[in-house]
Structure 1
Amino acid sequence: MSPHDQFGNFAGSAETHGTPADVIAPLPRVSIQAFCETPEIARLIEQATGDRRMEKAHVKVQMGGGLAASEAYRNAPTPNVIVIEGDAHRERLLETLDRLSDVCDSDTKVVVIGQVNDVLLYRELMRLGVSDYLVPPLGVVDLVRSLSEIFRAPGADPVGRTIAFVGAKGGVGASTVAHNAAWAMARQLKLDTVVVDLDLAFGTAGLNFNQDPPQGVAEVVFAPDRLDAALVDRLLSKCTEQLSLLAAPATLDRVYDFHEDVFDPLLDILRSNVPCAVLDVPHLWTAWSKRALIAADEVVLVASPDLANLRNAKNLIDLLKTARPNDAPAKLVLNQVSMPKRAEIKATEFAKALDVEPSAIIGFDPQLFGTAANNGQMLAETSPSHKVNDTFLDLAKRLTGKIEAKRSKRNLLDPLMARIPWKKAG
């Protein structure tokens, strides 16, 4: 097949595609924001949101093109996918992408709808990191296929990451930290997030989110032969528009002794379908809990500043370093700091002993945390203006990569811009 034919399969109308529409994979739970220049493209994207394969995606359509996108994300995290409508001028399109690269998060995918069916331009945009370049005439199926292939094509990066929270000791508030961080990911960073309560006997996620679902994570582990993405989707309890829960049964009518890889299929499904899966791992040491921590993309260790926590935290950090030599080290959250009348290790000394800089330090506030727990609310619901909410937002950004947020530019853009005559003349 010639390069032009390959490009035609990306940029042509629905009739140019050889793949039937019914084999397009559904999109995962991702956020998509489109910035259009013309009403026609805006209508096309609106129509695409009604396609059955777009059911789980959160789509927002607005006008203004690339300039509006650059302004919108100057002080806000970018979604999973940005769709930009460009015009027929190659230089303006590249300049638009140049501006967008200044404010675009590193893991955001960009799809460009242009007006020039140019193989060389297509190849250059691919080298810049653009995920796809589409040219009218364009149908709903073309757009849905393009968005689907970003996530479902062979070799595509995983949609999301798993983030495991565990306490260095029982009672240090690891579940509370996990749930509030997940809330910040979903509500403030606009990332679809699933909380998985792995404490099947005593889990509190259902209580904290004021949910009492009849099914949850137990159905996943006790019926492994039935497990697939559709089953997981049916078991999710919706907490907010972009936050869902796989609750623990929290009953003692059976014991929960599992094989070490019992949760592997579930985590694979979540990684392929949800941007953020927050694992609330109980404070116990079994083959499956150890494996859940080692297999997670990020590990957050929650500790209170006393000697037992220090010992346990060091043991966990050392084990994870050995078991995950090519991964980022576990992140440390110090919780319940400055509890009255308690002798505690200073946060700086605690961190120094572990050779880990705390990602968050949360003060002891029994009134706020107790009220939220008893009301089945997150801290941001109980006290929206409390400064602890900023701490959880910052932690959520660190865990999702948004703390690096704005890139200086896509590095590969500079050499291309340098070859354009108008750029050199300036």
Structure 2
Amino acid sequence: MAYILILGGSPDLVDRVRSVPGHIVSALDRAGMDELARVNGLESVLNVRDDMLADMAILGDGLPVAEALSMAESMGTLFPSVDRVLVAEPDTELVLRAMRSGVRDIVSRDATEDELKVLMHRADRSPTSVRRDDANPPPNDLHRMIVVSGPKGGVGRSTVATNVALALARTAPMDTVLVDLDLQFGDAGELLDITPSHTIAEAFGSAGSLDGLILKTLLTVHRAGFYVLCTGESPASSDEMSAAQVRQLLRQLSAQFRYVVVDTAAGMNDQTLAAIDEASDLLLVASMDLSSARAVRREVDMLVARGVAPASRHVVMNFADRQSGIGVREVEAAIGLPIEVLVPRSREVKLSNDLGRPVIERKRRCAAGKAFDRVVDLIRADELVTRSNKHRGVLVP
């Protein structure tokens, strides 16, 4: 259970933070802060409760920005383990000033409930909070980069990616991010019914690719508790993104999130190859036809020849249908790998895609939803093997 301290926050902000359950919240208005600091200095403000130090200090909307940044810098000297969050309207110049002052995050004055939950979740993972509550284990340090690939168009890569990301977010709320790397025609935003304020082009076209704090401001929060980095509306907006930039972006996200799910374009372009080279897990998506299966086989052969094929790779057959005229064994023979998950062709999936409500969100699982749960089970099983090998000192590929 994390301890949140709000300094100089408006009553509305204090009430909204307190409405998020499962946390200890204290608040000092401007008069209370000034009185404590005048008598005993800034240290007494952070130690307003004698029994514990705050995990997170929220510098509220009642403080002038310059004063809040100065206070954040002083806090970093006295208590570097305390997360500092600034409440203000973010822009690039302010973000850079905040970085220099040691601010970890910036939230708008009218932050949504989802955005506040993001802050609370991060406070729960702070070293102080973890030590205070032994029932909360420290976060896993073995992050997973799950790349969803398939050389043929129309096999449903984005459907797999969005549902897998949502399912993983239930395991790791606010610690999962979906990246739409179909830079020209990505539709993750449409499948999730979100309208992003920022796109992946901005991550490459600004200082966002250089700093984690700026990068995080470009992500969109999904209602189910995970982040999404969407493509732009114009295919031309992403033409100049290099493989090196993709690598840098994915490495930054992997350093911040437990699960990074990457949706890729059809074919094998340089950006997709860069993502696969960074992957811990590769989900190969095929449909129930021999042409699609043979294309997956050629992709795997090429990746192995280049030495970039992850050790953890699984084949997902989408649109599985007994009326297709061929069987699973024929498709497996064409691919040269076992098919571990069959996602049946269903009206539920098509309707869910049209509505922007992935089937995994439904309370009653349909057959397709259960198949996506199976994909996540495979990823988590590989994660446990990796963690076990690391603990035993085994070299992990």
Deviation of the 1:314 alpha carbon: 0.7
Q: Provide Cα deviations, 1:359-396, integer angstroms capped at 9, x if missing partner.
A: 3111111x111210111101033563313222211211
Question: Which structure 1 residue ranges, 4+ long, deviate > 6 Å from structure 2?
Answer: none
Give secondary structure in 2 for the equivalent of 1:401.
helix
Out of 365, 368, 371, which is 1:385 matched to?
365
Out of 298, 307, 316, which is 2:281 matched to?
298
Deviation of the 1:312 alpha carbon: 0.9
| Structure 2 partner of 1:343 | 325
1:198 touches 1:279 (CA, 8 Å); kept in 2?
A: yes
2:277 touches 2:309 (CA, 8 Å); kept in 1?
A: no
Aligned in 2, Cα 1:286/1:168: closer, same or farther, shift over 3 Å?
Answer: closer
In 2: Cα distance, 1:185 partner to 1:82 partner: 26
Identity %: 23
Aligned in 2, Cα 1:255/1:232: closer, same or farther, shift over 3 Å?
Answer: closer
Aligned in 2, Cα 1:353/1:229: closer, same or farther, shift over 3 Å?
Answer: same
Out of 282, 291, 310, which is 1:308 matched to?
291
2:290 touches 2:334 (CA, 8 Å); kept in 1?
A: no
Give secondary structure in 1 for the equivalent of 2:244.
coil
In 2: Cα distance, 1:180 partner to 1:394 partner: 11
| Structure 1 partner of 2:260 | 277
In 2: Cα distance, 1:258 partner to 1:168 partner: 20
Deviation of the 1:229 alpha carbon: 0.7
1:83 touches 1:110 (CA, 8 Å); kept in 2?
A: no
1:200 touches 1:250 (CA, 8 Å); kept in 2?
A: no
Give secondary structure in 1 for the equivalent of 2:227.
strand
Aligned in 2, Cα 1:186/1:253: closer, same or farther, shift over 3 Å?
Answer: same
In 2: Cα distance, 1:292 partner to 1:190 partner: 23
Higher relative contact order by CA 8 Å / sep ≥ 6: 1 or 2? 1
1:188 touches 1:393 (CA, 8 Å); kept in 2?
A: no
Deviation of the 1:84 alpha carbon: 5.8
Aligned in 2, Cα 1:237/1:297: closer, same or farther, shift over 3 Å?
Answer: same
In 1: Cα distance, 2:292 partner to 2:210 partner: 37
**Amino acid of the structure 2 residue aligned with 1:206:** G
Give secondary structure in 2 for the equivalent of 1:238.
strand
Mean Cα deviation higher: 205-214 or 247-256: 247-256
Out of 198, 202, 205, which is 1:215 matched to?
198
Q: Provide Cα deviations, 1:89-122, integer angstroms capped at 9, x if missing partner.
A: xxxxxxxxxxxxxxxxxxxx946xxxxxxxxxxx
In 2: Cα distance, 1:313 partner to 1:392 partner: 20
2:153 touches 2:266 (CA, 8 Å); kept in 1?
A: yes
| Structure 2 partner of 1:360 | 341
| Structure 2 partner of 1:423 | none
Determine if the alignment matches structure 1 residue 57 to structure 2 residue 122: yes
Map of 1:247-266 to 2, 5 A cutoff?
247-254=230-237, 256-266=239-249
2:243 touches 2:271 (CA, 8 Å); kept in 1?
A: yes
Deviation of the 1:285 alpha carbon: 2.6
In 2: Cα distance, 1:301 partner to 1:203 partner: 18
Mean Cα deviation higher: 319-328 or 271-280: 319-328
**Amino acid of the structure 2 residue aligned with 1:279:** V
Determine if the alignment matches structure 1 residue 205 to structure 2 residue 188: yes
Q: Provide Cα deviations, 1:56-95, integer angstroms capped at 9, x if missing partner.
A: 52639xxxxxxxxxxxxxxxxxxxx797649xxxxxxxxx
Deviation of the 1:290 alpha carbon: 1.5
Aligned in 2, Cα 1:276/1:300: closer, same or farther, shift over 3 Å?
Answer: same
Deviation of the 1:247 alpha carbon: 0.9
Mean Cα deviation higher: 331-340 or 349-358: 349-358
Q: Provide Cα deviations, 1:226-282, integer angstroms capped at 9, x if missing partner.
A: 631111211111103531110111324546143221212211111111000100011
| Structure 2 partner of 1:322 | 305
In 2: Cα distance, 1:59 partner to 1:25 partner: 12
1:300 touches 1:331 (CA, 8 Å); kept in 2?
A: yes
| Structure 2 partner of 1:72 | none
Unmatched segments (≥5 aa) in structure 2: 1-51, 54-75, 85-117, 393-397
In 2: Cα distance, 1:262 partner to 1:282 partner: 16
Give the number of aligned pairs: 283
1:320 touches 1:329 (CA, 8 Å); kept in 2?
A: no
Map of 1:173-252 to 2, 5 A cutoff?
173-187=156-170, 190=173, 192-224=175-207, 227-240=210-223, 242-252=225-235
TM-score scaled to structure 1, two decimals? 0.58
In 1: Cα distance, 2:383 partner to 2:144 partner: 16
2:180 touches 2:186 (CA, 8 Å); kept in 1?
A: yes
**Amino acid of the structure 1 residue aligned with 2:187:** T
Give secondary structure in 1 for the equivalent of 2:332.
helix
**Amino acid of the structure 1 residue aligned with 2:292:** N
Give secondary structure in 2 for the equivalent of 1:310.
helix
